[in-house]
Amino acid sequence: MLPVHERLAELFIISGKRALTPAEEAEQQQCLQVNARYCWEMARLKNEALLAGLTGDAGWDQEIAAQMFELRTTGRVSKRRK
């Protein structure tokens, strides 16, 4: 779990107890944008992993696994090697 996910959960809990301040609402929107990018990127990598498995490309599969690990731990994937 990334820090942004923890903060998003925290803001959700706070919003159940009181109205968020304008600054908190802006932060929540930023967290939601980061989360959407994270989910989109993870879905892309999962689809590529499926393709790598179906084609039997072990090297590509390993590269994708490394990218998924990087995404889970840092929230980003480095530029892909060509």
Number of domains, the chain: 1
Q: Are 71 and 42 in contact (CB under 8 A)?
A: yes
**Mean pLDDT for the stretch of residues 39-66:** 97
In a domain, 34, yes or no: yes
- Counting every residue written for the chain, the total comes to 82
Q: How far apart are CA 18 and CA 38, in angstroms?
A: 28
Structure token pair of residue 36:
């959407």
Residue 79 included in any domain: no
Residue at 30: amino acid letter: Q
Q: Is 80 inside any structural domain?
A: no
Would residue 62 count as lying in a domain?
yes
Domain of 53 in residue numbering reads as 3-74
Work out the end-to-end distance of the chain between its first and last CA atoms, rounded to an integer number of angstroms.
Answer: 29
Give the tens place of pLDDT for each residue, 55-73: 999 999 999 999 999 999 9
Question: Mind listing the pLDDT tens digit for each residue in 6-36?
Answer: 999 999 999 999 999 999 999 999 999 999 9
Does residue 81 sit within a domain? no
- Structural domain includes residue 46: yes
CA distance 33 to 42: 14
